Amino acid sequence: MSDGSSIETLLAILRTEIARLAPGDRLPSSRDLITRHGVGPVTVSRAIAQLAAEGAVVTRPGSGTYVTARPPATTAAPDTSWQSVALAGRHIDARHEETAPQEPAAGAANLSGGYLHESLQPAKTLGAALARAARRPDAWHRAPAAGLATLRALFARQAGGDHTPEDVLVTGGGQNALSMLFRATAAPGAPVLVESPTYPGALAAARAAGLRPVPVPMDAQGLRPDLLADAFAMTGARLLYCQPTVHNPTGTVLAPERRRQITDVARAAGAFLIEDDFARHLGHGRPLPRPLAADDRDGTVVHLTSLTKPASPSLRIGAVVARGPVLHRLHSLRRADDFFIARPLQEAAVELLSTPAWDRHLRSLGTELRRRCAVLSGAVARELPDWAPAAPPEGGLHLWLRLPPGLTEEAVVDAARAHRVAVDAGRRFFPAEPPAAHLRLAFAAAADPVELSEAARRLAAAARTAH
């Protein structure tokens, strides 16, 4: 039994026991709970901590754990209707939340989400890095607003070209960086050009900043420079958001001849190009092209990267690499938003990136992602031949599938849920009306390749009931 399920089981038992006790009664000791329920001391400690956080118990060191007084029962629901008036005039677009994938049900085969399964995360390496960081004498000192100099140097080297640590601002992950960038580079109401499809989190951040996402079509070679130039001319946009290296959700890598063209088109329009390089470490064992930022000296390209995807969802460390007034504006936003990123997490990131274990992790991760991609692609081709992608992605965590005629995303997603498999509907990846029905299938979120094959089998069974 996993630690999580052990804790939930013990919590359910203790809540039942607390309901029978009176306020002030003492719960069994930790030693008694360990013996009685066959769980470890960590499980007991976390369960008691959860109950204390809920206000159900209070712990008294040296004495024990006691049931607290129960709050008086209330029958009237809280009345928050007044907030509609107070919040009038400021709207946050809720489409991203409304279409966001739900947590997979227990026992479901997971083809949903954008993070590595815990078995693919370098947990021991992360733990060791955090432990070493915590032993630094200045680990809890205030961090520089721009980030630790050593960490900024590492990100500058990754961006390539002649970038220096002074061009880098450390952020709280990629999503935090996107939120800052959209607010820093365009005024509310302004258009922002995006690939179609694109990352839903970028659409949510842009809309929250009051921007209007405008779609620019892609093909098998990535964003189309000719249509990009037309979009700049028609909209007057001064901002482009794109993912030229392992695009989410399609996995496309922008063709070599287009990489310079895209930057040139943006520069000619007097626009910023936000390069989301989230998948820099998610290649499938093959070399990826260098960032667009590496060949840009004029500050057209604003480079964004993160450690979250190749390491762990909770390693909320990213970076923006930029030049000129836009970087100064980002520094101003940092001082207004949160002052600085927590130093212990930055120190842990430095430790992580500086150890040979990180390079070993990236090599093994690339091999495993390639294997999982092949397994899921083969299973889809076998079980759902009409859904097979045109070509396997060159990197990343997903397959992007176009549904055959007669199937809707809603019907397939609902049928898949009924067959205990979680998938992501394609419409949330489009800034406007989707041209067709799609699904995004994650091959990194499952426990192992066996689950991927089983998920494809369940999805095929679901498709037969979704017509």
Q: What is the 3-state secondary structure (H, E, C) of 183-244?
A: HHHCCCCCEEEEEECCCHHHHHHHHHCCCEEEEEEEECCEECHHHHHHHHHHHCCCEEEECC
What pLDDT does 390 receive?
66
Q: What are phi and psi of 425, to 5 degrees?
A: -65, 145
pLDDT score recorded for residue 96: 56
Say how many C-beta atoms besides its own lie within 10 A of residue 69's C-beta.
10
Name the token pair of 193: 């050009």
Burial of 152 (0-12, 13-18, 19+ CB in 10 A): buried
Of the candidates 351, 59, 304, the residue with the CA atom closest to the CA atom of residue 167: 304
pTM: 0.86
Structure-block tokens of residue 152: 């900024």
pLDDT digits (tens, 9 = 90+) for 380-421: 999 999 887 767 898 999 999 999 998 999 999 999 999 999
- What are the residues facing 241 on neighbouring strands? 194, 274
How many CA within 13 A on the CB side of residue 436? Answer: 11
The residue type of 6 is S
Question: Do residues 197 and 429 lie in contact, with contact meaning Cβ atoms separated by under 8 Å?
Answer: yes
Q: What's the rounded Cα separation, in Å, for the pair 295 and 262?
A: 12
Closest to 444 measured CA to CA, from 173, 128, 112? 112
Closest to 68 measured CA to CA, from 53, 81, 78: 53
Q: Which of 455, 425, 467 is nearest to 100 (CA)?
A: 425
> In whole angstroms, what is the distance from residue 239 CA to residue 181 CA?
10
Domains in the chain, CATH or no CATH each: 3-67 (1.10.10.10), 104-121+359-465 (3.90.1150.10), 137-355 (3.40.640.10)
The pLDDT value given to residue 1: 43
What integer pLDDT is reported at residue 81 of this predicted model?
A: 81
Determine the 3-state secondary structure of 72 from DSSP: coil
Tokens of 180: 């800052």
Q: Which residues of the chain have pLDDT under 50?
A: 1
78-109 b/e (C-beta count within 10 Å ≥ 16 → b): eeeeeeeeeeeeeeeeeebeeeebeebeeebb
What is the Cα 379 distance to its own chain's centre?
26
Helix (H) or strand (E) segment spanning residue 412: helix 409-418
Query: At 36, which helix (H) or strand (E)?
Result: helix 30-37
Q: Which amino acid is at 43?
A: T
pLDDT attached to residue 84: 81
CA pseudo-torsion sign 132, 136, 139, 140: positive
Specify the pLDDT at position 394.
87
Indicate the length of the chain as a whole number.
467
* pLDDT for the residue numbered 95: 61
Q: How far is CA 93 from the centre of its chain?
A: 19
Distance in angstroms between the alpha carbons of the first and the last residue of the chain: 38
pLDDT on residue 121: 96
Residue 380 CB contacts under 8 Å (≥ 6 apart), including other chains: 387, 388, 389, 399, 401, 441, 456, 459
Query: Which amino acid belongs to residue 246?
Result: V
Distance CA 93, CA 371 (A): 38
Indicate the residue type of 459.
L
